[in-house]
C-alpha cells in the first residue's frame, strides 16, 4: 500500500515551536524506543501541529493529520536531567467518501541522562489502526542510548532496549503477547545553514520467534528552512513487517511533502 500526501502544515507552539513535533511520517524513535524531541526545560513545553490535503476531480481524496507534544525536565538520578515527554497523533485518509486509513498513536516516555553521552529511557506506546488489523497495539519498554558522535555537521546516535508487546487484532486472529528486542539509529547531516538531511532506522525482533517475526522502519528526509518561520520538509518512509496480521501486506510506504510555519 503506497500513500502520498502533499499539503501545507501549520505548526504552532503554546510555549515552544519545534519542527520535529509536526505531523509527518511515522515517528521511528517513538515506535522503537522513546521520543523526547520537543526540547524540554524546567517549565512545561508544548506544541500542536495540524496537516490537511484535499484533491478533487477524477478522484476525491482527503488527508488529515494532527499531533500534540509536551515535555518537562526535572532532576533525577544523582541530580542529572530527567526528561519526560508525551506525544499523540492522528492520521486519517478518505478516498471517494470512504475511509481508507485511520490511525491513532500515543507515547509517554522518560529519559534519564547518566554521563558521557549515555542515558537510560523508558516508554509506553499505544497504536490503533483497524485498517492494519490492530484494535490495540501496546508496547512497554526500557533501554539505554548514546550520542555516538557529533561534530557540529554530522551526528549519530542510537538506542537499544527491550519491550513487552500486546497486539489485540480487529478480526478473529488470536491476540499475541511477546517480548522483543528494539533498536533505533539516527543520523543527521547539516548540508548548510538552512538545510538538514536525516536518516532514522528502527527495528524490532520477537524473542519468541526471532528469525521470522521482526519489523523494520526507515525514514529519509530533508528539512529546509525558507525563513525564520517558514520551512519545507520532504520525507520518504518504508515499513516492513516480516509476519504481518493475517491478510495484510508485508511492506508499506509513505511519502509526505509539507510546508510548515512556526511561531
Report residue 111 as a C-alpha cell: 529519559
User: pLDDT band at residue 22, thresholds of 50, 70 and 90?
Assistant: very low
List the single range of 30-39, 42-51, 112-121 with lowest mean pLDDT: 30-39
What is d(CA 84, CA 158) in angstroms, rounded to the nearest whole number? 19
- The residue with greater pLDDT, 87 or 182, is 182
CA dihedral for 262, 200, 238, 195, sign (positive or negative): positive
Rounded distance between C-alpha atoms, residue 229 and residue 240, angstroms = 35
Q: Residue 247 has what pLDDT?
A: 81
pTM for this structure? 0.72
Q: Which of 75-79, 234-238, 259-263 has the highest mean pLDDT?
A: 234-238
Number of domains making up the chain: 1
227 pLDDT above the threshold of 70: yes
What value does the CA radius of gyration of the chain take, rounded to a whole number of Å?
18
Distances (CA, A) of 190 to 19, 163, 193, 226: 15, 33, 7, 15
pLDDT winner (highest mean) among 21-35, 134-148, 220-234: 134-148
Per-residue model confidence (pLDDT) at position 164: 95
CB of 106 closer than 8 Å to CB of 137: no
CATH at 43 = 2.40.128
In this predicted model, which residue has the larger pLDDT, 29 or 184? 184
Using CA atoms, how far residue 192 sits from 5, 41, 58, 187, in Å, is 27, 28, 41, 16
Average pLDDT, the chain: 79
Most confident of 80-89, 180-189, 224-233: 180-189
Q: In terms of residue numbers, what domain contains 94?
A: 2-261
pLDDT band at 21 (very low <50, low <70, confident <90, very high): very low
The rounded distance, in Å, linking the Cα atoms of 110 and 70 is 12
Average pLDDT estimate for 216-236:
86
> Which of 114, 120, 116 is CA-nearest to residue 147?
116
pLDDT-derived band at 97 (thresholds 50, 70, 90) equals confident
Tens of pLDDT along 53-82?
665 555 567 777 777 878 888 877 877 888
* Residue closest to 94 by CA, chosen among 56, 61, 130: 61
Amino acid at each position: 500500500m503506497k500513500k502520498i500526501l502533499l499539503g501545507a502544515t501549520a505548526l504552532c507552539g503554546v510555549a515552544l515551536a519545534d519542527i520535529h513535533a509536526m505531523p509527518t511520517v511515522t515517528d521511528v524513535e517513538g515506535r522503537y524506543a522513546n521520543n523526547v524531541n520537543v526540547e524540554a526545560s524546567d517549565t512545561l513545553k508544548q506544541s500542536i501541529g495540524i496537516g490537511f490535503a484535499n484533491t478533487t476531480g477524477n478522484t476525491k481524496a482527503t488527508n488529515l493529520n494532527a499531533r500534540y507534544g509536551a515535555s518537562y525536565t526535572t532532576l533525577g538520578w544523582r541530580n542529572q536531567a530527567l526528561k519526560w515527554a508525551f506525544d499523540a497523533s492522528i492520521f486519517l485518509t478518505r478516498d471517494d467518501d470512504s475511509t481508507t486509513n485511520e490511525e491513532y498513536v500515543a507515547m509517554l516516555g522518560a529519559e534519564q541522562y547518566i554521563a558521557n553521552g549515555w542515558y537510560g529511557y523508558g516508554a509506553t506506546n499505544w497504536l490503533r489502526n483497524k485498517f492494519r488489523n490492530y484494535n490495540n497495539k501496546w508496547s512497554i519498554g526500557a533501554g539505554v542510548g548514546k550520542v555516538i558522535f557529533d561534530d557540529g555537521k554530522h551526528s549519530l546516535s542510537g538506542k537499544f532496549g527491550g519491550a513487552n508487546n500486546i497486539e489485540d487484532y480487529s478480526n478473529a486472529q488470536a491476540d499475541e503477547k511477546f517480548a522483543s528486542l528494539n533498536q533505533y539509529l539516527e543520523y543527521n547531516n547539516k548540508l548548510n545553514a538552512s538545510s538538514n538531511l536525516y536518516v532514522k532506522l528502527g527495528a524490532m525482533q520477537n524473542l519468541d520467534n526471532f528469525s521470522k517475526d521482526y519489523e523494520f522502519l526507515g525514514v529519509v528526509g530533508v528539512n529546509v528552512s525558507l525563513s525564520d518561520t517558514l520551512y519545507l520538509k520532504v520525507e520518504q518512509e518504508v515499513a516492513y513487517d516480516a509476519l504481518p496480521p493475517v491478510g495484510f501486506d508485508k511492506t508499506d510506504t509513505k511519502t509526505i511533502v509539507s510546508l510548515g510555519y512556526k511561531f
